Structure 1
Amino acid sequence: MKFLCVSDQIDPLIYSSSVKERYGDVDAVFCAGDLSMEYVDFIVDSLSKPTYFIFGNHDLSEYKYYKKTAFGDIPEVNYDKGSHFHGADYASNRTIKNKFLYFTAPNGKRTPLLIAGITGTLRYNKGQAQFTEAQMKRQLIAMIPSLLWNKIR
């Protein structure tokens, strides 16, 4: 499997009209860190590959549409109007089983790719998407049941 991983800055090799020729053979794209959603949109539109993203700690203009509320749910995004839908899957604080990408073990057993991520960084000035070590640990611990369930299956 081939993955394209981008983070923290716009790469002119990707943000170009020849991106499909350079990276059209990747199986999935992972966008992490401080990337504008316009850049993520460009990657999704140009490559038409499964794309997953998490926010970093600086470019957070659309974080409010994705962060969990006090009740644990993510606010509804109006997909009909396309106001904040970017064609990529938000991979923070959850596990995603990709239905199209599989690892093949030496014994021939195919296993779907499992994706998990956490948005943000350790707190350094009480900004958005910054968490104490205890908060970050709780986010990771909250993903354990789905990871264990995946292992059992």
Structure 2
Amino acid sequence: MRDIKYIVVHATGGSPQTTIKELLLVFKGLGWKNPGYHYVVAADGTITQLLGEEKVSNGVKGYNRMLVNVAYIGGFANGKYVDTRTAAQKASLLKLLGVLRKHYPNAIIQGHRDFSPDLNRNGIIEPNEFIKVCPCFDAKVEYKNV
């Protein structure tokens, strides 16, 4: 069994209309053995498990052995990265994170962007320090009470 230290929230970084099949083709095109996420939430709120939690996904380089990756489909609109979550996605993410929190009560819920380095060493990872903006909102704040 893996020692899960983080539950990481992602945006897929594409259109909210992207299908699971299209997403899996992206991972295959990258040459990845496993998908980038354990769970994906579609715009209608449907949750799809892409990989068993006992397996390592490809969500955050250098950390994958210690986390479960959850993504909502979307995060890109009008030529920029933005929070495109629907009300259904927000509700399903909250539900899914609640279930994962019960399985991993000591895991920290945060966004992919929160793994960026604190370049100025002030204790805060600021937007100008983000390696990625994913999931396009502050997951630490939004899910602090999950």
TM value normalised by structure 2: 0.32
Instruction: Determine which structure has greater relative contact order: mean sequence separation of CA pairs < 8 Å that are 6+ residues apart, divided by chain length.
Output: 2
Bigger radius of gyration: 1
More strand by share: 1
TM value normalised by structure 1: 0.31
